[in-house]
A and B are shown apart, each in its own frame.
Chain A
Amino acid sequence: MTQRDSTVVSLDKARQTPPPPPPERLGEERRRALDRFLATVERQAFQRARMAVGNVEDALEVVQEAMLKLSRRYSDKPEEEWPLLFQRVLQNCITDFHRRRNVRSRVLSWIRLGPDEPQEAEEEMQVADPSGRSPLENLLSGIATEKLLGALEQLPVKQQQAFLLRHWDGYSTTEAAYALSCSEGSVKTHLSRALKSLRHTL
């Protein structure tokens, strides 16, 4: 085989196996994927944040912070991990917001606004049976959405977020525990208390 023949063979091989895309193109594809992902979750994230912080401006800030953090730190993670990572980042941003607000209000007025969440021995608590006197399936039937939103806003943040993660996003208890950075037992306790409060309010 002449040198020319070998060159032709190697060229044929090269034609059969396309070269990997350059890094900048990979980065662009990743960027587009992240754009698509954030576009699908941003509205729901905003609503969750609004319920947790109580107003539009702070909610926008919290969601922006969560998107920035995901983009900066976790954009290289597999795409299938993004949804739960984003929920966790968002939850941390909400918690940070409440911490900052508590500190600010304490410093400014020396008045404690009321605990964000009472300290509790969560694991020791019994989880109430949700199929009690007021069946779950009847809880939200025939009520106005505004009333539900109002009731959700009244809940302590952890209970509210546990409820939304579980019954709006449809995450399992394990996944909700990851997003809330707590144990599964705590998620069950938060949920049970949230349902109790919602039954009472609605």
Chain B
Amino acid sequence: MTNNRPDRRKAEERLTEQTRRHLDPVSENLDPVIAERLAAARQQALEQMGRETPRRSRTTLAGMGLAASVALVAVLASLYNGNDTPGQALGAEDLELMAAEEPLEFYADLEFYLWLEEQSAGEESLGEDALGENTKSRRG
């Protein structure tokens, strides 16, 4: 096994030699038109030396971050607005509570405020209905 190593290395070196013998002339005797185009590409690259453009990965990451934020907001909004699953809605409220700046007393009386809001909204709609009826009757 150990005797094979020098032989193998020699064989590899020989293979490298032969590969170069075949391929080096191919790149040395390049079509002059292609050689010119390569030289032009090189000059163009040199003009951009050190002018690093923002990497696509960073842009992609920023885009992904933005998309994730929008998705999170959308999910939270749907959880907050839709009362299909009370457990999830509660989670959204908890999150909002954690993020809000109102004093804790406000949240202690939250149920009362919600009830009050519902009551006043109900009264307003009743009032509007009544007003609508009155207008209709006036027009009539």
Contact with B along A104-127 (1 / 0, CB 8 A): 000000000000000000000000
Interface set, chain A 21-75, CB cutoff 8 A to B: 27, 30-31, 34-35, 38-39, 42-44, 46-47, 56, 60, 63-64, 67-68, 70-73, 75
Q: Counting CB contacts under 8 A, is B136 at the interface?
A: no
Known: A130-B11, A139-B15. A63 touches B25 (CB 8 A): no
Kindly count the residue-residue contacts between A and B in the assembled complex, taking CB atoms under 8 Å apart.
Answer: 115
Interface pair A73/B22, CB less than 8 Å apart: no
Interface pair A72/B49, CB less than 8 Å apart: yes
- On chain A, the residues within 8 Å of B25 by CB distance are 145
Closest beta carbon of chain A to B31's beta carbon, Å: 8
Q: Counting CB contacts under 8 A, is A79 at the interface?
A: no
Interface residues of B (CB under 8 A from A): 4, 7-8, 10-12, 14-16, 18-20, 22-23, 25-28, 30, 34-35, 37-39, 41-42, 44-46, 48-53
Interface pair A47/B27, CB less than 8 Å apart: yes
Known: A43-B27, A56-B34, A67-B42. A75 touches B50 (CB 8 A): yes
From the candidates A42, A63, A130, name the one contacting B8 in the complex (CB within 8 A): A130
Considering only CB atoms, which chain A residue lies closest to B8 in the complex?
Answer: A131
Considering only CB atoms, which chain B residue lies closest to A44 in the complex?
Answer: B27
With the chains together, A117 CA to B16 CA distance in Å? 24
- On chain B, the residues within 8 Å of A129 by CB distance are 4, 8
Given A31-B49, A167-B15, 6 other A-B residues pairs in contact with their CB atoms under 8 A: A30-B49, A72-B48, A136-B11, A137-B14, A163-B19, A166-B16
A–B pairs, 21, beta carbons within 8 Å? A27-B50, A35-B42, A39-B42, A42-B42, A46-B34, A47-B27, A63-B41, A64-B45, A67-B44, A68-B44, A68-B48, A71-B45, A72-B48, A75-B50, A131-B4, A131-B11, A136-B11, A137-B11, A137-B14, A148-B23, A168-B16
Classify the secondary structure of A's interface with B. helix
With the chains together, A56 CA to B34 CA distance in Å? 8
Best-buried of B18, B28, B39 by chain A (most CB within 10 Å): B18
Closest beta carbon of chain B to A160's beta carbon, Å: 12
Closest beta carbon of chain A to B140's beta carbon, Å: 64
With the chains together, A68 CA to B69 CA distance in Å? 34
Count class of interface residues, chain A: 35 or more
Q: Counting CB contacts under 8 A, is A182 at the interface?
A: no
- On chain B, the residues within 8 Å of A63 by CB distance are 38, 41
Closest beta carbon of chain A to B129's beta carbon, Å: 57
With the chains together, A68 CA to B138 CA distance in Å? 80
Closest beta carbon of chain B to A68's beta carbon, Å: 5
- On chain A, the residues within 8 Å of B12 by CB distance are 130, 136, 167
Closest beta carbon of chain B to A73's beta carbon, Å: 5
- On chain A, the residues within 8 Å of B44 by CB distance are 64, 67-68
Interface pair A34/B49, CB less than 8 Å apart: yes
